[in-house]
Amino acid sequence: MSDASGFSAGKLTLLGGGNMGGAMLRGWIAAGLDPSSVTVVDPRPSDAIAPLFEQGVRHGTTAPAEPQDVVVLAVKPQLLDEAAAPLASSLVAGTLVISVAAGRTIASIEQLLGEHPVVRAMPNTPALIGRGITGAFANARVDAHARAVADRLLSASGPVEWVRSEAEIDMVTAVSGSGPAYVFFLAEALAEAGAAAGLDPALAMRLARHTVAGAGELMIRAEEEPAQLRRNVTSPKGTTEAALKVLMAEEDGFGPLLRRAVSAAKTRAEELSKG
C-alpha cells in the first residue's frame, strides 16, 4: 500500500472539492499519493485545489466510467443523495466508500450505493491546515487492507481515532467535530473580557488568539496531561488561582457548562443521524 515515496489507494474518486474535500486532497498529494490516480467530481471545486489539476488530478462533473477502488464522499449531507447516486456505476465489489458527510449513517449510505465496505468518518475543521483529528468507524465489510487504506487517507490531515461503534461517531461529533467552535468562542470571550477590563480590543484579540493557539500547541507537545499543565500555571493565591475559582465552580463553572454543551451537540447529532 505504501512505500518510501508515498502511498497508493488505487483509483480514487473524491466527490466534493470544497473546503473539507479540498483539504483532504491536498493532504493526500502532500503525502505522496499519485495525482493521476484521483478524480474530483464537483461542478465548482474550490480555487484552492485548482493547482492540483495542473499536477495531474483529474476533474469531472460526472462519475468516472471505470470502476473505482475508493470513493470518498465529501459533499454536504443534504446534497449527498443527489450527488452520490450517479456513482453507483463506478462501484464494484470491494470498492471502499469513505464518508465524511456529517449525520449520514452507514445504513443510509448502503441504501444509496449498495452493500460495500464503508467507513464513516468525522474530521474537524483544523484539517484545513493539516492539524485536524478524525473519528472513524468501519462496517463489517471493511477488511484489514481496506481499513489500512482508509486510515492512510484520513490521517493525511491529522490523527485518526477508530471508535468501537457507529453510535460513538455522534459523541465524536459533539467533542471534536463541533469542538473547534467552542475554542473559537473561548477566544472571543477571552478577548471581550480583556477589552472590558480596559485593554484595546484589537490587542485583547491578539492576546486571546495567541494564548489559545499557544496553549493548544503546548498540550500537543507536552508529556503532561492538561490538568498538570493547568497546575503548572497556577501559583497558590495568585491571579490564575483567583480566575480558576470562578471557572471551576461546581454548579455554574466552565466544566458543567461544557458538559451541557457537549450533551446538546450529541443529542442533535443523534437526531440528524436518525433523519
Domains and CATH numbers, the chain: 2-165 (3.40.50.720), 179-273 (1.10.3730.10)
Cα–Cα distance, 227 to 45 (Å, whole number): 43
Given this model, what pLDDT does residue 3 score? 42
Residue 18's alpha-carbon distances to 14, 48, 60, 72, 74, in angstroms, are 10, 9, 14, 13, 8
Stretches where the chain sits below pLDDT 50 are 1-4
Q: Residue 120 corresponds to which amino acid?
A: R
Quick one: which of 99, 120, 96, 220 has its CA closest to 169?
Answer: 120
Strand, coil or helix: 58: strand
Long-range contacts of 90-96 (CB under 8 A, 24+ apart): 90/13, 90/63, 90/64, 90/65, 90/66, 91/67, 91/116, 92/67, 92/68, 94/69, 94/146, 95/67, 95/68, 95/69, 95/70, 95/71, 96/69, 96/70, 96/71, 96/142, 96/146, 96/149, 96/150
Place of cell 489559545: 212
